[in-house]
Structure 1
């Protein structure tokens, strides 16, 4: 079981042959219209999704769905809110490069989607790497510095000390690595992450 993770879902919309994917692009445009309505309701400026992204933007086909279910089962109740962005990173999720305090459910053209935040996803994914005791170049210090650069402010309300999961464990390790990679690419291209 897996899902497709795309950074820059509107990449190629203006290129020749895009009409072959017109259904996908129409769906994405409707989705971003609903997202911008939500941002306006919060008093935030609209997000303008780029129509093309530099070469190397992340498009991944992974099978982290089982890992996400395993992680969901292993996380203590007191940490569920701490990793809310990671736990919603399944089919139907959209992360935009805007700081949103918590995921929100939106309806777009008869379909629902979970809307999350790229900077918070990056931060939580890097924390998860440390929590499960996995080595990664997406370390916590890097994610913290990048988050601060993104927002020009520290992330509030995040536990300062988290204990490693009992016995280490691999639940969430590859998932968090995948999400960190996608979040960094989204940050670098000011793009969204779409999971289908």
Structure 2
């Protein structure tokens, strides 16, 4: 308890600024008047600066993670294009499995890509996927998912593994530490 009281007393002390000796700008006729500063206000300012640094670093990290996730989704989208091409070949060969499930309803290539992308993002939330598509009901999205379940599940598992790997390798202490080691290069300029 005494330690807390001593800390409080230390925080309430005024910070005095000593004029610099030999300052040619100093004048006896002019005095600069400032609000009185305490150690508490100085520490508050330091904490605010640190908070700003941590927030900006967190935003940069968030952007980096979003970029990595988007890259992973685009790689998954390439795999999906292959899967839809395979499905189209099955349809051309006379397979009517898709027609049985959907009752003859067709999907455009754009709708397939959007549905696949949404399934990667929202998982098996068919209502959310249908809402994003706008042209399909959740039952039609579920039919689409059922039709390509094995292939989509493999890609969803790969995405979950990639995300888990990113999360497990992310070092919070290192990334959010206030003392970031910066590499400094010293360059000697030689005048001839």
TM score, norm. by length of structure 1: 0.23
Question: Between Structure 1 and Structure 2, which shows a larger proportion of strand residues?
Answer: 1
For the pair shown, the structure with the greater C-alpha radius of gyration is: 2
The higher relative CO (CA closer than 8 Å, separation ≥ 6) is in 1
TM score, norm. by length of structure 2: 0.23
Question: Between Structure 1 and Structure 2, which shows a larger proportion of helix residues?
Answer: 2
